[in-house]
Structure 1
Amino acid sequence: MKLFDVYPLFDINIVKGEGCRVWDDKGTEYLDLYGGHAVISIGHCHPHYTNKITAQLGKLGFYSNSVINTLQTELAGRLGKASGYEDYQLFLINSGAEANENALKLASFANGRTRILSAEKAFHGRTSLAVEATANPNIIAPVNANGHVTYLPLNDLDAWRDELSKGDVCACIIECIQGVGGIRMADKEFAQGLAEACRENGTVLIADEIQCGYGRSGRFFAHQWLDIRPDIITAAKGIGNGFPMGAVLISPDFAPKYGQLGTTFGGNHLACAAAISVLDVIESENLVDNAHATGEYLMDKLRELQQQECHITEVRGRGLMIGIELDMPHKAVREALLRNEHVFTGCAGTGTLRLLPPLCFTKDMADEFIERLKRVLKQTV
């Protein structure tokens, strides 16, 4: 049986990782500034993480959600305290797409409406309703194109208010920092105005924190830079540091009825052990603060490089979620960084190099990356 092609593959077989570095089967070492699509939050193979999962596997790997799982209760308490949302309810699933799917379903249960507002260039997942809220017609199958979603420009508050005033909008879903869309950030004025308009019109505000959350922006959730309090927050990626997991944080204003949401694998014992160990490390190693400080340092260095006319036209981002806009083919730069300098990065939008390193990334590593990037930008045409 042949594997289905999911992504274009680099001819590299990664077999080992430690911290912010990975190695291929030939022993070549790579600096990882992509973290496997922002999934690696505390670093590859952190000893506390591996020990916690191994110990749990030795006791119980899985049982269904039909029995008490005290690890879920522990995780809910820890996550509530770490994020500042102790009064919210926590629903655990397996992925970011599932988190958004269930968030949109909850919103519709709450107000009985079916129309959704989403931002242009948004990415919310590949499942049925999540993919319809994703502004990419190439991945929306005809069966998913049901007319539920209106796409609007991020930060155009008047456009969002006009649609909300019609009184039929179920939910607004936004990434406060768009990842796939090119590290585009929501303005504070826009976010606060949108939150107010949602309250006035009985519309549910969903913050998609799947890529920009879990400390990546230098706050636990990226929307906390904007001083808003969404009705529903979705999380995934960094929550499990590679173990598949997603979460929906639900405002106490909602009262989901028993049976409206369900999952077989969500919040299983191994997933919870992974997620608890991630919070242990984030807190003990001050990784949210590190993401802020190191991210600011790296962006300053990139802007210095920009002044040297090195093909960089703009540097955007918060914390360790950074976009480098280039005046040359970004995929060629990404390829050269990987092949010639052994650095993993990502791409986004039409010309953005995307940096999403583990939150344990250091200033020394930032300097190392800058030197490698300089060489590539001088050589690549």
Structure 2
Amino acid sequence: MNLFQVYPLFNINPVKAEGSFLWDDKGQKYLDFYGGHAVISIGHNHPHYQNKLKSQLEKISFYSNSVQNDLQTELAKKLGELSGYENYSLFLCNSGAEANENALKLASFHNGKQKVIYFSGSFHGRTSAAVSVTDNPKIVAPVNFSERFIKCEWNNVAQLKQLFAENQGEISSIIIEGIQGVGGIVLPTEEMIQTLKNLCAENEVVLIMDEVQSGYVRSGKFFAHQEFDIQPDLITVAKGMGNGFPMGGVLISPIFKASNGLLGTTFGGNHLSCAAGIAVLEVIKNENLLENSEKMGAYIESEIQNFNHIKSIRRRGLMIGIELDQPCAEIRSNLLMKHHVFTGNSNDANVLRILPALNITEKEADIFIGALNSVLEN
């Protein structure tokens, strides 16, 4: 049997990782400034993370959600304390797409309405409802399409108000990324966020904040939306939550009432994933990664802002989009093949996406800065 080839692959086979570095099967060392789509939040094979998982493996790695699991309770408590959402509840699952599916479903259960507003440039996942609110027709199969999902242009307040007027009483939820990641590190305006907040409150619409990529300290705050004075009804998380272990979750406002069978998952919140999630939160707290995210993001921005071919830098914390005056594909390839630095792209062909581990140092940042300068000088 062969693999179902749906990914364009670099001819690189990583076999070892530590901190912000990878090694391939030929012994070549690489700087990881992309973290596998912002997944590696505390660095590869962090000692505390390793020890937590090893210890848990010696006890129990999995049982279903039909039994008590104190690790889930511990994870929820620590997440609430660090994020400032202690009065919310937590539903655990396996991925960002699954988190968004459950959030959209929970919103519709709550208010009995069907329609959902999403935004241009958005990416919320590849599963049923999640892909229906993703702005990429190439990955929306006919079975996923429905007129219940309504697209609004990003940061277009007038159109948002018009959509509410046209669909009065029918909108169940609005889903929006704290910062658009795949879209090219695109930031929402204060006006858009406040308008969303007010329209949702006035029309009994559930506000879902997708913090799958922008959450977990990535933006320099625990959640990107905390830059604004809002508390969404539902917050979805994944990626950096498990530092590579598949994990997702929904933070749920007290306005929602739980009932048996309302939501469910086979693997979500298993013992091993919870051990990974707890380790990540402990490292974030103990190593002050909230402060380091903003500090190192600002350092990188200040060092590269005058480089050739850079038009603008879109940044919050260590979520960085470098807009070039040309497509970034060749730049990204040269960084990888000539300087052995992993970076990311986006749906905007000119935007290079930078998502390093939250505990990077100036020494590691300088490797990237030097490589980028060398590539852009040519």
State the match for 2:25 in structure 1. 25
Deviation at 1:329, TM superposition (A): 2.1
State the match for 1:192 in structure 2. 194
State the match for 2:84 in structure 1. 84
State the match for 2:356 in structure 1. 357
CA contact (8 A) 2:327 2:351 kept: no
2:343 maps to which of 307, 320, 345:
345
| Segments of 4+ moved more than 4 angstroms | none
Amino acid at match of 2:319: M
Task: Map 1:70-109 to 2 at 5 A.
Answer: 70-109=70-109
Task: Map 1:106-185 to 2 at 5 A.
Answer: 106-165=106-165, 166-185=168-187
- Deviation string 1:199-255 (CA, Å, 9 cap, x unpaired) is 001100000000000000000000001221100000000000000000000000111
Aligned equivalents of 2:291 and 2:162: distance in 1? 38
CA contact (8 A) 1:132 1:148 kept: no
Query: Which secondary structure state, in structure 2, belongs to the residue aligned with residue 341 of structure 1?
Result: coil
Deviation at 1:176, TM superposition (A): 1.9
Amino acid at match of 1:7: Y
Matched, 1:235 2:237: yes
Task: Map 1:251-330 to 2 at 5 A.
Answer: 251-305=253-307, 310-330=308-328
Residue correspondences, number: 375
Query: Which secondary structure state, in structure 1, belongs to the residue aligned with residue 42 of structure 2?
Result: coil
Deviation at 1:195, TM superposition (A): 0.7
Aligned equivalents of 1:298 and 1:167: distance in 2? 46
Deviation at 1:256, TM superposition (A): 3.2
Amino acid at match of 2:88: Y
Matched, 1:212 2:211: no
Amino acid at match of 2:221: R
CA contact (8 A) 2:233 2:252 kept: yes
Unpaired segments of 5 or more residues in structure 1?
Answer: none
Query: Which secondary structure state, in structure 1, belongs to the residue aligned with residue 232 of structure 2?
Result: coil
Deviation at 1:260, TM superposition (A): 1.3
- Deviation string 1:267-315 (CA, Å, 9 cap, x unpaired) is 000000000000110000011110011101111222132xxxx111111
RMSD across aligned C-alpha pairs, in angstroms? 0.9
Aligned equivalents of 2:63 and 2:6: distance in 1? 30
Aligned equivalents of 2:302 and 2:203: distance in 1? 41
Aligned equivalents of 2:132 and 2:259: distance in 1? 25
Deviation at 1:150, TM superposition (A): 1.1
Aligned equivalents of 1:167 and 1:334: distance in 2? 47
Aligned equivalents of 2:71 and 2:114: distance in 1? 35
Query: Which secondary structure state, in structure 2, belongs to the residue aligned with residue 177 of structure 1?
Result: coil
CA contact (8 A) 1:39 1:238 kept: yes
Aligned equivalents of 1:330 and 1:246: distance in 2? 30
State the match for 1:13 in structure 2. 13
Question: If the length of structure 1 is used for normalisation, what is the TM-score?
Answer: 0.97
Aligned equivalents of 1:24 and 1:66: distance in 2? 41
